[in-house]
């Protein structure tokens, strides 16, 4: 490296001239520019930045110096002014990128922490479990359990097996057979759920970024459009997920049990009608209680 290079506050023009005269190679020029930017942060209006933050920014900027040297054209502005403009604009870009990363990280962490809190396991107590009472109609209970196989857990299976008079291993085998029959449909449900969760995170991230931008600014409008686009995708994915049946078909249940489809249809229809009848009776009893109260309020009270 030449010893006659200037050491004043604006030496970049001289560095570039030495590079053009082949007194410096490109790596040496990049190193001198990097050292100058590192030592003169106040000159670029970055005096309020923390030291570690400024070091991270300069390391992020260094790969761009090579392109900046190649793209420089002496068209009215000095090389010092050119590098100064690049530093100020790139510092603004770096600042926004760090804000975006911080918002995304905080959003994901808050949502993950909430999910961890919701899914936190309850403490186990040393109390003995009461004996399980058998259900009134074990056949219908078994069909309902197989129908909703996608939502049952192993713990529920262990508690439900004695109630319907079926061994736990046998019940697990039946559910595994249903899962094998519906593996493609279940995989589609999981893919839609993953895409839905991704769009959910994108929406809340864009919403946070929109709130950090000044209202009416270009960035605010861009984040608003992205948030609205993510919200539309969420609605579409929810609709698609709702259209995919997460329950086993009657034909699949009949195949697993080795019975006819008509047997499964008739038993599940009886359960459905019993459920509707019970809801209708509850509604009638509730309406009768309300009407009796209103009638009692209309009866005049005799004064003695």
Q: Which domain holds residue 22?
A: 12-72+80-105
Q: Assign 74 to helix, strand or coil.
A: coil
Decide if 266 is inside a domain. yes
Considering the chain, what is the average pLDDT of its residues? 78
Q: Give the Cα separation of 276 and 264 in Å (integer).
A: 18
What does the pLDDT average to over 245-269? 86
Q: What is the pLDDT of residue 291?
A: 57
Same domain, 220 and 163: yes
- Residue 179 and residue 260 in one domain: yes
pLDDT for 7 equals: 46
Question: Is 270 within a domain?
Answer: yes
- Domain assignment present for residue 116? The answer is no
CA distance 43 to 84: 8
Q: Are residues 266 and 204 located together in one domain of the fold? A: yes
Work out the average pLDDT over 78-85: 83
pLDDT band at 299 (very low <50, low <70, confident <90, very high): very low
Side-chain half-sphere exposure of 99, counting CA atoms within 13 A: 14
Q: Judge if 30 and 146 occupy the same domain.
A: no
Using CA atoms, how far apart are residues 121 and 134, in angstroms rounded to an integer?
A: 28
Are residue 145 and residue 98 in the same domain, yes or no? Answer: no
* 285 burial via Cβ count (<10 Å: 0-12, 13-18, 19+): exposed
Query: What DSSP designation does 258 have?
Result: T
Co-location of 157 and 255 in the same domain? yes
Q: In total, how many domains does the chain have?
A: 2
Based on the fold, state whether residues 144 and 253 are members of the same structural domain. Answer: yes
Least Cα distance to 261 among 270, 274, 252 occurs for: 252
Residues 150 and 67 in one domain: no
pLDDT tens readout for residues 138-190: 888 888 888 888 788 888 888 888 888 888 899 989 888 888 878 877 788 88
260 falls within a domain:
yes
| pTM value surpassing 0.85 | no
Q: Which residue has better confidence, 295 or 107? A: 107
Residue 236 DSSP SS3: helix
271 and 165 in one domain?
yes
**32 alpha-carbon distance from chain centroid:** 45
Is residue 286 in some structural domain? no
Residue 170 in any domain: the answer is yes
Contact 74, 175 (CB under 8 A): no
Is residue 232 a part of any domain in this protein? yes
Enclosing H/E stretch for 38: helix 26-39
The answer, yes or no, to whether residue 4 has pLDDT greater than 50, is no
Does 101 lie in the same domain as 227? Answer: no
pLDDT at 286 > cutoff 70? no
Q: Is residue 283 part of a domain?
A: no
**Residues 34-49: pLDDT tens digits?**
888 878 777 777 777 7
Same domain, 95 and 191: no
Residues 142 and 98 in one domain: no
Predicted local distance difference test score (pLDDT) of residue 235: 92
Q: What is the pLDDT of residue 229?
A: 92
pLDDT attached to residue 188? 84
Residues 56 and 32 sit within 8 Å (Cβ to Cβ): no
């Amino acid at each position: 490296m030449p010893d006659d290079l200037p050491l004043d506050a604006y030496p970049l023009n001289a560095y570039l001239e030495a590079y053009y005269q082949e007194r410096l190679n490109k790596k040496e020029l990049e190193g001198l520019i990097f050292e100058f930017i590192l030592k003169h942060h106040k000159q670029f209006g970055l005096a309020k930045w923390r030291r570690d933050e400024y070091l991270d920014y300069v390391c992020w900027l260094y790969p761009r110096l090579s392109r900046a040297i190649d793209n420089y054209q002496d068209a009215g502005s000095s090389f010092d002014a050119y590098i100064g403009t690049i530093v100020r604009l790139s510092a603004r870009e770096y600042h926004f990128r760090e804000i975006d990363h911080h918002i995304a990280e905080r959003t994901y962490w808050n949502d993950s922490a909430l999910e961890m809190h919701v899914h936190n396991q309850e403490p186990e107590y040393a109390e003995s479990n009461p004996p399980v009472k058998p259900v009134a109609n074990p056949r219908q209970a078994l069909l309902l359990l197989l129908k909703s196989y996608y939502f049952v857990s192993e713990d529920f299976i262990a508690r439900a097996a004695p109630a319907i008079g079926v061994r736990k291993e046998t019940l697990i085998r039946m559910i595994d057979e249903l899962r094998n029959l519906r593996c493609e449909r279940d995989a589609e449900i999981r893919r839609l759920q993953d895409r839905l969760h991704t769009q959910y995170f994108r929406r809340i991230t864009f919403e946070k970024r929109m709130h950090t931008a000044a209202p009416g600014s270009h960035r605010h409008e861009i984040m608003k459009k992205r948030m609205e686009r993510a919200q539309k995708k969420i609605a579409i994915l929810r609709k698609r997920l709702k259209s995919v049946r997460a329950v086993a078909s009657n034909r699949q249940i009949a195949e697993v049990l080795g019975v006819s489809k008509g047997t499964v249809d008739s038993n599940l229809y009886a359960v459905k009608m019993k459920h509707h009848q019970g809801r209708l009776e509850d509604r009638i009893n509730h309406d009768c209680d309300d009407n009796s109260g209103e009638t009692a309020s209309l009866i005049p009270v005799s004064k003695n």
